[in-house]
Structure 1
Amino acid sequence: MIRLRPRLLCASLLLVFGTAEADDPPQSGMVVAAHPLATQAGVDILDAGGTAIDAAIAIQAVLTLVEPQSSGIGGGAFMLHYDGATTDMQAYDGRETAPAAIEADHFLTEAGAPMDFLDAVPGGQAVGVPGTLRMLELAHEEHGERPWKTLFQPAIRLAEGGFEVTPRLAEMLRIDLPLEAFEPMAGYFFPDAEPISAGMTLTNPALADTLTEVANQGADAFYEGPIANSIVTRVQAHGGKLTREDMADYRAVERTPICRFIAGHSICGMPLPSSGGMTVLQILRLLEIANADTEETSELTWTHRLLEASRLGFADRNEYLGDTDFVDVPVDTLLSEDYLTGRAGLISPTQSMGKATPGLNDPDTAMSDAKLINHSTSHFSVLDAAGNAVSMTSSIEMPFGSRLMVGGFMLNNQLTDFRFDPEAADGRPHPNRVQPGKRPLSSMSPVIALDSDDQPRLIIGSPGGTRIIGYVAQRVADVLMRGKGVEAAIEAGNRVNRNSRTQVEADTDAQALAPGLEGLGHEVEIESMTSGLHGIERLPDGVIRGAADPRREGSVGRSTSPSLIDSVNH
């Protein structure tokens, strides 16, 4: 827990779509989530006097129903929480864990080679113990105001009464994956052997029953008893090693956020096993150092340096990072000023370095590359009337996870986030190798940045697999270093480098940079990149703005009443 200085806030909310305008009056709270029904659920909880944590629980429950391809109670999550009264910053780890019976060769073929990624995804072998509900319960015990039971009612009502299928959900059912091969998923999403279509009304009575049990009995109803038994039975029937003991033994963990002072702000992210916090901070500080001695501010030069910083960050990420409950990671060294200053010296303003090498080992011993699979995940940001903030990213990993459906929700395939080959080429054990009870390395990157008054300046995150890190770092840099508004920053074209080819988003302003980047030595790919950035920014005058990524279906719920913090501070 990181402690800052106390403040106060207060007021009510209403739901809107899009972004608050610059001349709006100061506002007290906001919800930005990936689906309008989830946003509305969060706003309703805040209107009823709930906290940001209360709203987060309602939002995630609704997302389980309406965005089943991306996240849900069958997966895991990372959450940052800022306390408006004490200015404490906390990190909650709800990442999945590997079953106790798992072995080092879990993702190796009989010939000893790593499995093909897409062969490992479907079925039970990739299912880790879900962590989202235990994490939310832990946070609610500390910061909830509304009764736990009431927070699931919006999702239960929607599951019973039905919701309208969105174009994105319908489209995801038509991607080239073996989705219709598993029951009961096939019967739910593919009635009459055809995928459901946008505009249809879909009910989920099984999920309503599951959420009712969780609402009435707490998270224990999920981790012990009939629901847990059903999860274990389904996973084992499809080749997994999950047991009832694994479910009952799961614990969410409160960890210390990882924060650094960059660009005049205290920027906080998740610690390991999320690689997002460390790598985003590395990229931002490398960029700041590289730009310190120049007045060149062209879009091309800025983007080039951002991408080169990302190369360096990913080189270290892929080599050194893993679950610190199991492996030693030189966190302080990798974020030290001396180390980053030396690394930033590798960034040339006129030529790309190409593939970067990790900074602490011999250049020829890099252990792994980031997966180039675009995972399915969801992010939401919340600011409540008391000044509390939540930045939460949750996931079931691939679209529709493992394809296994239990109790109306999808089970994750997060174990495929482990490195399949437990050893590097030189025989060293990899820090992200499979181990019993271990949490796989993640790229989820929820961020909360604080201003000089220790108030939330930016609350943001995104889905997108390993691209999450680049998506988030780009927007934090744009808002805090370049003064862009959160909406303009999110709408700007994505530019990503994961220590390989530079990828720029097709049909955006980023695409226009391709020739210039190639002239600087980048190998450029132009492609679609579906981020799902959802952010809230608080301006120095107290105005609160939110923005939902136009690449997805999210919305903004915002307040219209002035907050006490503005009369106190201004």
Structure 2
Amino acid sequence: MLGWKHCLIPLGLLLMPLAASGFDYQTPALSPETASGFTQKPGWATQSFAVVAANPLAADAGRQILQAGGSAIDATIAVQMVLALVEPQSSGIGGGGFLLHFDGSEVRAFDGRETAPAGVDETLFLNAQGEPLAFMDAVTSGRSVGVPGIVKMLEKAHKKHGKLDWASLFAPAITLAKNGFAVSERLHQSLANDDALRQNPAARALYYHDDGAALAVGETLQNPALAAIFEKIAERGSKAFYQGKVAKDLAARVQAQKMPGSLDVDDLENYEVQERDAICTPWQQWTVCGFPPPSSGHLTVMQILGILDNEPMAKAPLDGGAPSDDWLHRFLEASRLAFADRNRYIADPAFVDAPGGDWRTLLAPAYLKRRAGLIGAEQSLGEDVAPGRPGALEISWATPPRQPEYGTSHVSVIDADGHAVAMTTSIEQAFGSRILADGATGLAGGYLLNNQLTDFSFTPEVDGKPVANRVQPGKRPRSSMSPTLVFKRADDDAQAAAIGPLVATLGSPGGAAIIPYVAQTLVALRDWGLDAQQALSLPHVLTLGDSVYVEKDRLPADTRAALDELGHTLSDRELTSGLGVIVRREDGSLFGGADPRREGVVMGDEAE
């Protein structure tokens, strides 16, 4: 027998709008598409505004905000809140994110990355014997939870660039949380495959039947606790989350775990969003803008692309619908070189100095040319590539052991004024720490807490040398998130990073694999003549510095054989990226693509 949370809801109730200042949300008659396997998508043309998000309900919320005259920031807030409800495995108010914003003249980077609580030290993820904890033991503990930043980050961005009333932006998420939404294929599969989430009693009551079976595709899921929390934030702003009952409940749940964390209400109240200068890098006819550290995304993406620009192509880059073995070999080798630098040097800039005092030393043309010179045409460099020396350092950092990175969701928006957002948002692993908090509402449901602190190196030092990305109080863990805005170059100076007209907004989920996902997409858009959807439909072949991961059943046999002959160790994986891209075409209209491996869609006004 089904309980309250799975009940069928009358159509009339679903279609009732939730009135708010300046905006009336109309629940769409949408059925989220299947996300199993690879589903070809057509791409979407729009006239003046567009939004791409990982779930149709979220994309539609953004579309309605833009239709009502909202800004790109307004739409992003509405999308994020709906994603917290309908895609809880990937992001939510219990996590953080990086938001890149273009206001028509400049690009700014809003850093809502989680921070380590004041009570941690470098031994956070070491056991009593001084050895690193098993990864999943750390994930599903209170120790993994960082101070969430997404709500404060979005509030800060809204104060600067919002057009609609803050409260109105929560209308879609509140309506869907109260009235319910149909469970999608991807959410169902994520729930069915996650035994750890079932161990949390509150999460089990919300997402599973009494026998432990995950909610089926199409069943209606309500979340009254999350609706109540959204209502508080809509009314009182971020204070409703970072202070009072919601904050006390969050801290209490972290501290009540079998392996508790130290996060407390002071950590929440003291959290600060950082507004940073974006890094804008010239790349032939384009300028590519991305996030600075603590994200490693832009620096590593542009290292890969900069190294590739020094590599002459011996074959056409596309062969039978896939990148050629010749291009893939160089792409993999460039990735190995870039990841070696990433793992050695990049961390929170409040704690770690850049080589030579400037992160751009990693992108200096002369340095990248030297790195490119290490690539051979006949044999792979292998899995133990040494980092380069881009600039002087006061401290000699150690390269830590490799460990997993997961999760995230991506949102791209262009509004009717031509302003743009690229935001990547995360709770890290699928369902984060698996800790569900109800905000002391006394209602069923709630939101999931992140496990972002496992993005720190568990090992604080190697051979007596400190690891740059080790745990420290107040520090932000290094991320691979790569929200990206692309512009035409404003001048002919090869070193200039001045921006011209907007070309595209893009990004992806995928942990450390975000970096090669975004890098390949940029090449496909600039060099291969592909549109946004065609670029996202290419098969993935990537490395994070060790094995080469090949998208299962999608690479031609002769290409595999050629890569194997070059010494690349190949391993088949699903590689479910979630890329979202919106491109401004020469006539000023827009064309967007959504990853065929997930549920995402593009929505906007109709193209003329």
TM-score w.r.t. length of structure 1: 0.91
Q: Gaps (5+ residues) in structure 1?
A: 1-13, 563-570
Q: Which residue identity does 2:91 align to in structure 1?
A: S
1:367 aligns with 2:392: no
SS of equivalent residue, structure 1 residue 191:
coil
Q: Which residue identity does 2:261 align to in structure 1?
A: G
SS of equivalent residue, structure 1 residue 27:
strand
User: Which among 71, 88, 92 is matched to residue 106 of structure 2?
Assistant: 88
Per the TM alignment, residue 332 of structure 1 is displaced from its structure 2 partner at its CA by 2.6
1:305 aligns with 2:330: yes
8 A contact 1:494–1:510 mirrored in 2: no
8 A contact 1:490–1:533 mirrored in 2: yes
Deviations 1:148-198 (A, max 9, x none): 000001000000000000111111112254111113111111231422111
Structure 2 match to 1:232: 251
Deviations 1:271-320 (A, max 9, x none): 000111110111111111113x7675462211111111111110001111
1:333 aligns with 2:361: yes
Distance of 2:305 and 2:270 partners within structure 1: 38
8 A contact 2:398–2:467 mirrored in 1: no
SS of equivalent residue, structure 1 residue 359:
coil
1:346 aligns with 2:384: no
Per the TM alignment, residue 351 of structure 1 is displaced from its structure 2 partner at its CA by 2.0
1:377 aligns with 2:408: yes
Match runs of 1:92-107 below 5 Å:
92-107=110-125
Distance of 1:335 and 1:369 partners within structure 2: 24
Structure 2 match to 1:146: 164
1:186 aligns with 2:217: no
Distance of 2:120 and 2:278 partners within structure 1: 29
8 A contact 1:511–1:526 mirrored in 2: no
Distance of 2:129 and 2:586 partners within structure 1: 60
Distance 1:42 1:350, change over 3 A: same
8 A contact 1:19–1:546 mirrored in 2: no
Structure 2 match to 1:30: 50
Per the TM alignment, residue 34 of structure 1 is displaced from its structure 2 partner at its CA by 0.3
Structure 2 match to 1:259: 280
Match runs of 1:20-99 below 5 Å:
20=43, 27-84=47-104, 87-99=105-117
Distance of 1:384 and 1:365 partners within structure 2: 43
Distance of 1:263 and 1:475 partners within structure 2: 16
8 A contact 1:15–1:43 mirrored in 2: no
SS of equivalent residue, structure 1 residue 173:
helix
Structure 1 match to 2:580: 534
The CA RMSD over aligned residues, in Å, is: 2.0
Distance of 2:182 and 2:401 partners within structure 1: 40
Distance of 2:175 and 2:132 partners within structure 1: 44
1:358 aligns with 2:387: yes
Deviations 1:192-251 (A, max 9, x none): 142211110000000000000000000111001111011011111111100110000001
Structure 2 match to 1:567: none
Distance of 1:149 and 1:223 partners within structure 2: 17
Distance of 1:99 and 1:511 partners within structure 2: 49
User: Which among 125, 137, 142 is matched to residue 124 of structure 1?
Assistant: 142
Structure 2 match to 1:437: 474
Q: Which residue identity does 1:344 align to in structure 2?
A: A
Match runs of 1:155-170 below 5 Å:
155-170=173-188
Deviations 1:407-458 (A, max 9, x none): 211000000000001102x211111000000000011111111124622212
8 A contact 1:536–1:546 mirrored in 2: yes
Q: Which residue identity does 1:75 align to in structure 2?
A: G
Distance of 2:82 and 2:582 partners within structure 1: 20
List structure 1 segments (4+ residues) > 3 angstroms apart after TM superposition: 14-21, 293-298, 509-512
Distance of 2:362 and 2:189 partners within structure 1: 41
SS of equivalent residue, structure 1 residue 271:
coil
Q: Which residue identity does 2:596 align to in structure 1?
A: P
SS of equivalent residue, structure 2 residue 310:
helix
Distance of 2:397 and 2:412 partners within structure 1: 39
8 A contact 1:19–1:556 mirrored in 2: no
Q: Which residue identity does 1:489 align to in structure 2?
A: A
Match runs of 1:392-411 below 5 Å:
392-407=423-438, 408-411=446-449
Distance of 2:134 and 2:353 partners within structure 1: 28
SS of equivalent residue, structure 1 residue 466:
helix
1:466 aligns with 2:484: no
Distance of 2:301 and 2:265 partners within structure 1: 37
Equivalent pairs, count: 540
1:480 aligns with 2:526: yes
Structure 1 match to 2:15: none
8 A contact 1:15–1:40 mirrored in 2: no
Per the TM alignment, residue 481 of structure 1 is displaced from its structure 2 partner at its CA by 2.4
Q: Which residue identity does 1:277 align to in structure 2?
A: H
Distance of 1:467 and 1:242 partners within structure 2: 29
Distance of 2:504 and 2:69 partners within structure 1: 23
Deviates more, 1:116-125 or 1:348-357: 348-357
Q: Which residue identity does 2:464 align to in structure 1?
A: G
Distance 1:512 1:386, change over 3 A: farther
Per the TM alignment, residue 69 of structure 1 is displaced from its structure 2 partner at its CA by 0.6
